Amino acid sequence: MTDRSATLQRLRDLLGERLSTGESIRDIHGRDEAYSAPALPDAVAFPESTEEVSRIVAICAEDGCPVIPFGVGTSLEGHVIPVRGGVSLDMSRMNRVLAVNGADLDAVVQPGVTRKALNESLRASGLMFTVDPGADATLGGMAATRASGTNAVRYGTMRETVLALEVVLADGTVIETGTRAKKSSSGYDLTHLFVGSEGTLGIITQLTVRLHGIPEEISAATAAFPTVAAAVDTVILAIQSGIPLARVELLDEVQMRGMALYNPDFSLPEAPHLFLEFHGSPAGVAEQVAQFREIAEEYGASDFAWANRPEDRTRLWEARHNGYYAARALKPGCAGLVTDICVPISALADCIAAAKAETDAAGLIAPLVGHVGDGNFHMLLLIDPDDSEELGRAKDVAHRLNRLALSFGGTVTGEHGIGTGKLGYMQEEHGSAWAVMGTIKHALDPKGILNPGKVVPQD
Amino acid sequence: MTDRSATLQRLRDLLGERLSTGESIRDIHGRDEAYSAPALPDAVAFPESTEEVSRIVAICAEDGCPVIPFGVGTSLEGHVIPVRGGVSLDMSRMNRVLAVNGADLDAVVQPGVTRKALNESLRASGLMFTVDPGADATLGGMAATRASGTNAVRYGTMRETVLALEVVLADGTVIETGTRAKKSSSGYDLTHLFVGSEGTLGIITQLTVRLHGIPEEISAATAAFPTVAAAVDTVILAIQSGIPLARVELLDEVQMRGMALYNPDFSLPEAPHLFLEFHGSPAGVAEQVAQFREIAEEYGASDFAWANRPEDRTRLWEARHNGYYAARALKPGCAGLVTDICVPISALADCIAAAKAETDAAGLIAPLVGHVGDGNFHMLLLIDPDDSEELGRAKDVAHRLNRLALSFGGTVTGEHGIGTGKLGYMQEEHGSAWAVMGTIKHALDPKGILNPGKVVPQD
């Protein structure tokens, strides 16, 4: 292992107690929420300002020491794991909301602010931050992975939500990638280059994000469908008809069974469901609901249940967000391997059918939840962590699902990102464009110190 | 001048008659619609396929010969002008709509398709392509300049509209930057890197663009306001209130006078106006109109005039799109120098007031039109082309307006781009980020053959 004691000493001189080499701190920063193998950083740094981040990166650059940004560690593809050691840069102390600009519908925040903390601080403003990946992730981490979630069908992903960034580059230089102006034709779109770059091109130290007004009326609903295909066809037709669905989540019958096992108060039937939300004026929401209901009933929907009071909506979406834990209730003691494929919506019903055929053929329990308005769905392949044969079968199925997405003109990751977990699909998904990513990485980080081992072709 | 006869011979061997060195063809490809000094290409190539573009670029790369993509030449900042000679790549023969995917709300097109041609081909589908820069530009050109226009406030600019690109790189390699899946977290966002890169990083040979359903109900209107500030404040409050305005264009009293001079049938009063369009269901549009009207009347709006029949709407928006010619009617025989600044909408009223003070102080006639929902407005500085003193004054005022935009936290170009015309502002607007653009350019085009002299720092 490389001797990094001189680097760490220089960092300790800069940060004092805010550089930690303790085993338990390093351990926390050496894993994420999924199944990637952990790897420890040499140290964890807790910067409190952009200038400190810049100095840390400059020191690490001189010594060729890896720097891996860390939010709250809820990523799922090994993004934050220091596979080559180095310094984990924990951004949790940079957690201030710097400005909320109501007239411009934007906010300027530090990267350690979580989405729930931002929405909490917006409470009095009548505004909301819409990107909702389930976990209470940091905005820096969400930008770095181009996260999305249940609201993306209406309000977009982090791609549409980040207006501008402040970024520390691989040599410590600080840049701003845009302004608060709503649009611009001024030069290369560096904002979008850094969104989704997973810490491999620079460290995000500040974000300007788009906000939305909280709608006057919000109505949520669940509806049961005879088949998954009927639910998907309903969504396609609703979107084509211009119904501005704010949320539309598919849960298959297996997932619904898990939710009933997980929560004894959960009373919805064991059939494929859509969980929905409608936003607008009272008249607008009433119109959306009527239009949607007409389409859904044509496809055989039944058991509509409405949640119009805030507490009922909260309960509904909590149930959805706890889907991961609920799914695991189907196989007590199990671990889960989650897929994240995304295809053009016209291919979604066929893709889901083919995916279910794969999991069935492999004899796996694999509940499905999907952001179907975006063509994105997750299957959680449940495995006994001690059963290496079953793990092998699950990995094989996950691989088949990823290939399936590519065969339908889609992507292996709609919202979780590449990290190390999906690195093996980059060549097949992007062809020659993957080498272009490597060229850009090499130009901006010639020493390869920023989150090495991720996203781009490896030397 | 560099001897490019060997390169041209190789290109002629490839393209035959589709390589032209005729004076008049070269002249057409040596200028754009604005005031930049023309410069002739050595030849004009008319490729018919991606493979031909790839071969042309590969030949030019070997010989270090510049390649400048050309759509229809409606750019305004000198983008298409071959300032270092070379080959102008006229994309007009690559003008096929390759696919319209109704269920996915997208279309796949070649770069020479114009926005009107695309909408014409969508006629039977109930779908529309929404980006509308006024000119009937090609989609390749619009992507390259990150164009927008009157609909952007609701449907976004080319930034939000381009889903994926096929691009020929500086060595002739062909890449695809994305899929038709609606979202993805798979690697660097190369699509957005090429959108707005003005032909300096690659040649766009195919685009996948987002479409929208034609709304069931469309209503257009004009309204007069006592002051420009009252009109702007109306727009800010309407947007904050969540009214999904589809178009909201400001025309000041000077512009309105020009429109009356240009068209004797134009009967609106000489006062600041908003031109508006509302899209939705019949009930939704009625609600939007009522809400908007209430806000506007609080700010003293009067003379509401409605255009609900398609022919009346067409007349209204034709009048708006002819704004440039109408403005020039204010000073017969004049030329016009157009500004394109864009600021956070909260700063818009102050910025417009300061801008008008500048044009007044300089004694210039300067009609104003603005995409005010986006904080973007144009002033057309009218000048006698033979009066060099007046041209000097106008350039000085344009400079002051650009500085004004930066002082309000905005950009010198909301939608026209950099080309050569705004190159002088890049350092001030982007600081150290401009050098990063140069680094990327150098990495992807080490010989500097792609549209040299534009966007990035020049050697």
- B369-387 residue pLDDT tens: 999 999 999 999 999 989 9
Judged against a pLDDT cut of 70, whether residue B218 lies above it is answered with yes
Q: Which pLDDT score is estimated for B367?
A: 98
How far does the CA of residue B77 sit from the closest CA of chain A (Å)? 11
Q: How confident is the model at residue A221 (pLDDT cuts 50, 70, 90)?
A: very high
Sign of CA dihedral A8, A13, A14, A17: positive
State which residue of chain A sits closest to B125, comparing Cα positions. Answer: A240
Interface of A with B in 240-259 (CB under 8 A): 240-242
State which residue of chain A sits closest to B437, comparing Cα positions. Answer: A188
Is B160 in contact with A157 (Cβ distance < 8 A)?
no
Spell out which residues of chain B touch residue A413, defining contact as CB-CB under 8 Å. Answer: 184-186
How far does the CA of residue A78 sit from the closest CA of chain B (Å)? 14
B206 in Cβ contact with B267 (< 8 Å):
no
Interface of A with B in 324-353 (CB under 8 A): 340, 342-346
Is B196 in contact with A188 (Cβ distance < 8 A)?
yes
Spell out which residues of chain B touch residue A216, defining contact as CB-CB under 8 Å. Answer: 242
Q: Is A445 on the interface with B (CB under 8 A)?
A: no
Q: Is A302 helix (H, G, I), strand (E, B) or coil?
A: strand
Q: Which amino acid is at A45?
A: A
Is A345 in contact with B152 (Cβ distance < 8 A)?
no
| C-alpha B332, offset from chain centre | 26
> Where do the domains of chain B lie, and which CATH numbers do they carry?
5-92 (3.30.43.10), 95-213 (3.30.465.10), 215-329 (3.30.70.2190), 331-451 (3.30.70.2740)
Per-residue pLDDT of A222-234, as tens digits, reads 999 999 999 999 9
Q: How confident is the model at residue A337 (pLDDT cuts 50, 70, 90)?
A: very high
How far does the CA of residue B134 sit from the closest CA of chain A (Å)? 16
Q: What's the CA gap between B28 and B44, in Å, rounded? A: 10
B419 in Cβ contact with B198 (< 8 Å):
yes
Q: How confident is the model at residue B36 (pLDDT cuts 50, 70, 90)?
A: confident
How far does the CA of residue A44 sit from the closest CA of chain B (Å)? 26
Q: Which two tokens stand for residue A400?
A: 């088949």
Q: Which pLDDT score is estimated for A33?
A: 81
Q: How far is CA B182 from CA A158, A374, A375, B104, B179, in A?
A: 13, 6, 7, 8, 8
- Burial class, B227, CB count within 10 angstroms (exposed 0-12 / middle 13-18 / buried 19+): middle
Is A413 in contact with B185 (Cβ distance < 8 A)?
yes
Is A414 in contact with B346 (Cβ distance < 8 A)?
no
Q: What is the mean pLDDT of residues B267-277?
A: 95
Residue with the two structure tokens 């106008």: B394
Q: What is the mean pLDDT of residues A256-285?
A: 94
Judged against a pLDDT cut of 80, whether residue B115 lies above it is answered with yes
Per-residue pLDDT of A112-153, as tens digits, reads 999 999 999 999 999 999 999 989 999 999 999 999 999 999
Torsion (CA) A185, A186, A192, A195 in degrees, nearest 10: -140
State which residue of chain B sits closest to A440, comparing Cα positions. Answer: B440
Judged against a pLDDT cut of 90, whether residue A295 lies above it is answered with yes
Q: What's the CA gap between B247 and B189, in Å, rounded? A: 29
Per-residue pLDDT of A388-430, as tens digits, reads 999 999 999 999 999 999 999 999 999 999 999 999 999 999 9
Q: Which pLDDT score is estimated for A1?
A: 59
How far does the CA of residue B210 sit from the closest CA of chain A (Å)? 12
Spell out which residues of chain A touch residue B456, defining contact as CB-CB under 8 Å. Answer: 187
Q: Which two tokens stand for residue A369?
A: 């939840």
Considering just the CA atoms, what is the radius of gyration of chain B in Å? 22
Q: What is the mean pLDDT of residues A245-264?
A: 96
Torsion (CA) B52, B56, B58, B64 in degrees, nearest 10: -170
Interface of A with B in 98-127 (CB under 8 A): 101-106
Q: Out of B183, B193, B416, whose CB is closest to A157?
A: B183
Q: What is the mean pLDDT of residues B324-334?
A: 93
How far does the CA of residue A345 sit from the closest CA of chain B (Å)? 6
- B420: nearest Cα among B393, B389, B399, B451: B451
Q: Which pLDDT score is estimated for A302?
A: 93
A270 in Cβ contact with A256 (< 8 Å):
yes
Per-residue pLDDT of A195-215, as tens digits, reads 999 999 999 999 999 999 999
Q: What's the CA gap between A222 and A273, in Å, rounded? A: 7
Per-residue pLDDT of B133-188, as tens digits, reads 989 999 999 999 999 999 999 999 999 999 999 999 999 999 999 999 999 999 99
Q: Is B411 on the interface with A (CB under 8 A)?
A: yes
* CB neighbour burial string for B256-274, b if at least 16 within 10 angstroms, e if fewer: bbbbbebbeeeebeebbbb
Q: Sheet containing B87-90: which strands, arranged edge to edge?
A: B19-20, B43-45, B87-90, B67-70
Mutation target among A79, A163, A165, A183 for the B interface, most CBs of B within 10 A: A183
Q: Which pLDDT score is estimated for B163?
A: 97
